[in-house]
Structure 1
Amino acid sequence: MGKHTGMFDGAEIRAVGARIALLAVSVGVLSVVLPVALVSDIPDRGRSDAWIVTLLIMIYGGIRLSVAWVSGRPHLFDFFFWVFGYIFMGLAPTAQIRADAVSTTTPGIDPAFDLPTAGIVALGIGCYEVARAIWMLRQHAHPPQAPGAPRAVSPARAIGLAVVGLGISAFFVAQLGPAAALGSREAAFAAREARWPDPSIRAVMYAAAVYPLLIATGAMTQLRRAAISRASRVAYSAAAVAAAVVLLLIVNPIASARYTFGTVAVALAIFAGAAATRLRARVTMVLAIVAFLFVFPIADAFRTDEVRVNRTSFFGEYLANPDYDAFWQIANSLAYWLDGLVEPARQFLGSILFWVPRTIWPDKPTDTGIVLAEYRGYAFDNLSAPLWAEAMVNGGVIAVVIVFIGLGMVLRAMDVRVVPAFATGGVWAIVGAVLPVYMTILMRGSLLQATGATTVMIACLLLVAGRSGTPGDEGSGDAEFGVGAPVPRDRAGQPPA
């Protein structure tokens, strides 16, 4: 017994040592090497000192991302929040401010707004972190009861959703024509715009062609997991593969927005088991970081009729790049608020009531990105509206505080449900595969564009949800405090992987 205990302790010590080494390397790369390289590579043109704040956000974000992936616990909502924060609120604005190379789609921003904008970003992140920490302490103070049976997937409704999803996808392709649906992104977007001129209707139609089939694919993988007979497993596997193939014909890296393709690709990977063990979860999160840092910036080169490969350098990719206009749109929202143009909650109402036709609501709010573009007099109005900007145009700084406090609590609560679901299966496993990465779209905005797809996904998830077992607070404890949810494939008496 003593010998066995000694071997166990030795294995556990080696595992802890390996994690510490991985953490040190990751922090060294994300929070030391990349920030130092950025400051060395991009000379400071003297635009403002706001880059110091965004650099600190980048450094802190690198630490948070490192802790997240090294732990192997797939807290994916929090993870993707920090992927967005690290790149879009840390790395990109730091490079742009130092080089005085603002996004080309948001010109003419007064440098005096840089530091207050960075302060608003930091305020939102701080509120998120404090709220998340308070929620974790609450969970630690109230340890979970024994988890109940997971909420299963209804076979009949899952099959029905798959049939309906295939039908809508076929209708979508028929309306646009195969060439437009499967061609370049420019051709695909032009075809959708011509067929459905109203942006909210167009967003809902595209979401209906993608997300019911995606949720149905996840439902099939869960049904396969729960199937008893070999014939059932084969049938559900075949259905899942067929649905995934059709899905990838519509959502492909050429014709689709990178965020949409990324959502589908990550979801399919997790459906296939990419978060089923700690090792797989680590690999999945590392690959996600690499993809956002190195693949996302260059993926746009091959999605137009003309291939563009004139890339300068790693950090040069972020300079004046419209893909990274998020920070500057927050600056525009700050100016919008200071000019007294905010109508409390008006833009938010427009987002949640996206389904109301303009014939009934003639002055229905438009996309927040468009509102800010028109306010600034920009000719190009297809701009982002990150969550900070959405909060500012709905209620100013107070709204930023409220929104990010709520976000910190909600995302923590969602992660707590999702982590055990990767081990036990059920509807929450589908939620954990689809919604966390889609949250990067919600974070970047605008909310109006993303609300339709979110509504479609939630409706599909509710549709396929079957009966749950004995009610229980599944994994409501805190993993970091050692009192909570099981991590996928943890085994009693085994050291963490």
Structure 2
Amino acid sequence: MRAGRRTAGGPGRAVAALGCWALLLVVLLPLLVLRSLDARFGAALAVQCVVVVHTGAALARVLTDVRARLIAFGFWLFSYVWLGLAPLAMLATDAYPRGFVVDAHTAFVSTALVETGLLAYSAGSAVAAWRAGRGSAVLEPVLARRLAPGRVLLLCGAALLLAVVLIPQQGGLSAFFLSRQAANEAAALAEPSGSADRAMSAWLLSVPAFWALVALVHVPRFQAGDRILRGLRRLLLPLLAAVNVVVNNPISQPRFWAGTVLLALVFGASWLRGPRAFRVGAAAVAAVVLVVFPYSDYFRYDKREPVRIVSLAEQFTSNGDYDAFQQIETGVDYVRTHGFTPTAALGPPLFFVPRAAWPGKPDDAGILLARHAGYSFENLSAPLWIESYMWAGFPSVVAVFGLIGAVGRRIDGLRHRLRRHRGTLAALLVPAFGFYQLVLLRGSLMAIVGPLALLVCIPLLITRKPGRPSPPAAAPEPVAPADRTAPSLCTGGTRT
């Protein structure tokens, strides 16, 4: 009787929770952003209201889903904050964090471009959910890979060796607790032309240290016969934790990466894989992104002014961290001036080819947009929406976002299916990629594809295909005397 009441009340509670989240995200927060603004209604703002409703409703659905969907959560969280609420404030006031401002037609095309990508993502996700029962011949074997303890220990040794070698080259321990401004200025004075080499050295230090710590936490523990592994774990865990505090701290590292490291460790824990715990954790992350993130750049500069609390609307229209929509507008204006560049799509997958061997290698999209806008600085974002639009217009946006929507939904489904298996690639990689997705969506691709390759390849190297377990020994069945010469064979099923 109790189970029946729980089943009957479950859908009602789910609908009520969805309604509460939708009310907060679709109505209350947008009104909070707009209440102190003298809004100027126009075609672009009308489409932007559709974007806010779409992203808010989708995020509410993820926060109340019966499954933990990390990939969908990362996508819709970025879309809601950076391409939903922030542009709402910008378009209502015609105020932007950067100096380059476009006309009303370009703003309208930009909002339509954002909504087109969101619709394509939703359609791809819906198709993947409809075909979920058919499995995936490519993704499932990959995400089912298991950690190999020997390879994990080799990675731990390599991460510690890289720390011993590269930390002194980067300026010693103290250099990792300087502001990012001071660290960049010191590095530029030491090697004015070696920015790419410095960046790669930093990632070679940060990413292996992160994966070594995560893998050591998740490596399966056996009931007996692993005394050496347990002893090495106790020895290596504090060492790797200390290395990560040094090389992956939020003082000298970008906030998006430091947040990825922390959240991947937290959401990779077994107690957060269930839907209820995930919903609580995801709601906390969303609140932190909205409330704390704007003030988390306190350590970026040497001269630190007292923290001044301002409204969400003022943050969105004055803080350069929310320039994603303005960069999309700049990109639409760039395409109107220079046309589409399909060959630029080759740049990210072939990032490792040096420019000496490829003289016509495409430039970073963020740099192109900064030059087009006439900025004196070039380290700017290029959201995936505008980067794919610069390749071939709206058709390439539909193709790209339809694909990532389908793949993301399939990955979430496979992680849910494998959630009870320890040490799988799904348990490691999906939380990390789910939150690193914010960096991927913000762009530009040329700037992040190298670290992304490291982020994906290292866990592939320390895992192996799951072995087929031997069938359990079965007690022999009683056999009639006449059948002694032909005993029956008992076959056991394999565990999935």
TM superposition score normalised by structure 2:
0.86
1:167 aligns with 2:161: yes
Which one-letter code corresponds to 2:2 in the other structure? M
Q: Is the 8 A contact 1:342 1:393 kept in 2?
A: yes
In structure 1, C-alpha distance between the alignment counterparts of 2:462 and 2:126, rounded to whole Å? 33
| Aligned counterpart, 2:149 | 155
Match of 1:312 among 310, 313, 317: 310
Cα–Cα, structure 1 residues 303 and 235, in superposed 2: closer, same or farther, change >3 Å?
A: same
Cα–Cα, structure 1 residues 380 and 60, in superposed 2: closer, same or farther, change >3 Å?
A: same
| Aligned counterpart, 1:127 | 120
Which one-letter code corresponds to 1:44 in the other structure? A
In structure 1, C-alpha distance between the alignment counterparts of 2:332 and 2:18, rounded to whole Å? 37
Deviations 1:249-276 (A, max 9, x none): 2111222111011100101112333523
1:86 aligns with 2:86: no
Q: Is the 8 A contact 2:44 2:104 kept in 1?
A: no
| Aligned counterpart, 2:493 | none
Which one-letter code corresponds to 1:168 in the other structure? L
Figure out how many residues of one structure are paired with residues of the other and give that number. Answer: 461
Cα–Cα, structure 1 residues 271 and 76, in superposed 2: closer, same or farther, change >3 Å?
A: closer
Cα–Cα, structure 1 residues 112 and 137, in superposed 2: closer, same or farther, change >3 Å?
A: same
1:216 aligns with 2:191: no
| Aligned counterpart, 1:267 | 264
Which one-letter code corresponds to 1:294 in the other structure? V
In structure 2, C-alpha distance between the alignment counterparts of 1:283 and 1:226, rounded to whole Å? 31
Residues 371-382 of structure 1 aligned to structure 2 (within 5 Å): 371-382=368-379
In structure 2, C-alpha distance between the alignment counterparts of 1:435 and 1:227, rounded to whole Å? 31
Q: Which of 93-102 and 268-277 deviates more?
A: 268-277
Q: Is the 8 A contact 1:72 1:282 kept in 2?
A: no
| Aligned counterpart, 2:100 | 107
Structure 2 stretches lacking a partner, 5+ long: 470-496
| Aligned counterpart, 1:22 | 17
In structure 2, C-alpha distance between the alignment counterparts of 1:399 and 1:385, rounded to whole Å? 16
Which one-letter code corresponds to 1:121 in the other structure? V
Q: Is the 8 A contact 2:342 2:392 kept in 1?
A: yes
In structure 1, C-alpha distance between the alignment counterparts of 2:322 and 2:262, rounded to whole Å? 22
Match of 1:396 among 393, 397, 406: 393
Cα–Cα, structure 1 residues 271 and 243, in superposed 2: closer, same or farther, change >3 Å?
A: farther
Deviations 1:269-308 (A, max 9, x none): 1233352322321122111111211111111134322223
Which one-letter code corresponds to 2:54 in the other structure? Y
Residue 337 of structure 1 aligns to a residue whose secondary structure is helix
| Aligned counterpart, 1:343 | 341
Q: Which of 56-65 and 290-299 deviates more?
A: 56-65
| Aligned counterpart, 1:8 | 3
Structure 1 stretches lacking a partner, 5+ long: 1-5, 472-497
TM superposition score normalised by structure 1:
0.86
| Aligned counterpart, 1:437 | 435
In structure 1, C-alpha distance between the alignment counterparts of 2:230 and 2:60, rounded to whole Å? 37
Q: Which of 156-165 and 83-92 deviates more?
A: 156-165
| Aligned counterpart, 1:186 | 181
1:38 aligns with 2:36: no
1:323 aligns with 2:321: yes
| Aligned counterpart, 1:245 | 242
In structure 2, C-alpha distance between the alignment counterparts of 1:202 and 1:390, rounded to whole Å? 25
Which one-letter code corresponds to 1:305 in the other structure? D
Match of 2:454 among 453, 456, 459: 456
Cα–Cα, structure 1 residues 316 and 12, in superposed 2: closer, same or farther, change >3 Å?
A: same
Once the 2 structures are TM-superposed, how far is the Cα of residue 200 of structure 1 from its aligned partner?
Answer: 4.2
Once the 2 structures are TM-superposed, how far is the Cα of residue 432 of structure 1 from its aligned partner?
Answer: 1.3
1:370 aligns with 2:364: no
Cα–Cα, structure 1 residues 191 and 362, in superposed 2: closer, same or farther, change >3 Å?
A: farther
In structure 2, C-alpha distance between the alignment counterparts of 1:237 and 1:412, rounded to whole Å? 37
Pair member with larger Rg:
2
Once the 2 structures are TM-superposed, how far is the Cα of residue 71 of structure 1 from its aligned partner?
Answer: 2.1
| Aligned counterpart, 1:287 | 284
| Aligned counterpart, 2:298 | 301
In structure 2, C-alpha distance between the alignment counterparts of 1:388 and 1:243, rounded to whole Å? 37
In structure 2, C-alpha distance between the alignment counterparts of 1:196 and 1:158, rounded to whole Å? 37
In structure 1, C-alpha distance between the alignment counterparts of 2:114 and 2:368, rounded to whole Å? 20
| Aligned counterpart, 1:136 | 129
In structure 1, C-alpha distance between the alignment counterparts of 2:378 and 2:426, rounded to whole Å? 37
Cα–Cα, structure 1 residues 60 and 233, in superposed 2: closer, same or farther, change >3 Å?
A: farther
Which one-letter code corresponds to 1:214 in the other structure? F
Cα–Cα, structure 1 residues 227 and 367, in superposed 2: closer, same or farther, change >3 Å?
A: farther
Cα–Cα, structure 1 residues 151 and 402, in superposed 2: closer, same or farther, change >3 Å?
A: same
Q: Is the 8 A contact 1:58 1:87 kept in 2?
A: no
| Aligned counterpart, 1:477 | none
Which one-letter code corresponds to 2:440 in the other structure? L
Residue 211 of structure 2 aligns to a residue whose secondary structure is helix
Cα–Cα, structure 1 residues 236 and 71, in superposed 2: closer, same or farther, change >3 Å?
A: farther
Deviations 1:107-133 (A, max 9, x none): 232233111100011111111111111
Residue 43 of structure 1 aligns to a residue whose secondary structure is coil
Which one-letter code corresponds to 1:186 in the other structure? Q
In structure 1, C-alpha distance between the alignment counterparts of 2:110 and 2:442, rounded to whole Å? 16
| Aligned counterpart, 2:200 | 204
In structure 1, C-alpha distance between the alignment counterparts of 2:336 and 2:136, rounded to whole Å? 46
Once the 2 structures are TM-superposed, how far is the Cα of residue 349 of structure 1 from its aligned partner?
Answer: 2.1
Match of 1:76 among 57, 70, 75: 70
